[in-house]
Amino acid sequence: MSTHADCIFCKIIAGQIPSKKVYEDEELLAFHDIRPAAPVHVLVVPKTHIVNLQGVGAEHHALLGRMLGKADEIAALAGCRPGAEGGFRVVINNGADGGQEVYHLHMHIMGGPRPWRAG
């Protein structure tokens, strides 16, 4: 597992900063966003420090697949409603122009009754 000393998400993964965890396994941590843009707003971060999608190599493809593959389970654990009446949104911001604020690859899972604030 690769970490970066100044990264807030690496500190959350290490337990140095508290978070409200939703899911954790050997490769991923999911926790509630501190500034939610929806009634349910969870961040899914790999435990390996990857700056963003531009830093993804072939060695990370399986990890990205796990992140997306776990989205439905994590959304349900966080409180998103299942089925056509429920659902959730998945967003990965990439780089400054893409709205990335924390430079550790992460996926937003957002759901809950609409409307949500812009985000």
2: confidence class by pLDDT, cuts 50, 70, 90: low
Q: What is the pTM of this model?
A: 0.92
Nearest to 43 by CA among 33, 34, 28, 35: 33
Superfamily of domain 8-111: HIT-like (3.30.428.10)
57: confidence class by pLDDT, cuts 50, 70, 90: very high
Q: What is the pLDDT of residues 5-45, one digit of tens each?
A: 799 999 999 999 999 999 999 999 999 999 999 999 999 99
Residue 108 annotated to the active site: no
Structural domain boundaries in the chain: 8-111
**CB burial class (10 A; 0-12, 13-18, 19+) of residue 31?**
buried
pLDDT at residue 116 in the model: 80
Marked catalytic residue, from 41, 104, 106, 108: 106
Cα 27 to Cα 40: distance, rounded to the nearest angstrom: 22
119: confidence class by pLDDT, cuts 50, 70, 90: low
Count CB atoms within 10 A of the CB of residue 12.
19
Q: What is the pLDDT of residues 64-99, one digit of tens each?
A: 999 999 999 999 999 999 888 889 999 999 999 999
Cα 76 to Cα 111: distance, rounded to the nearest angstrom: 10
The residue with greater pLDDT, 113 or 45, is 45
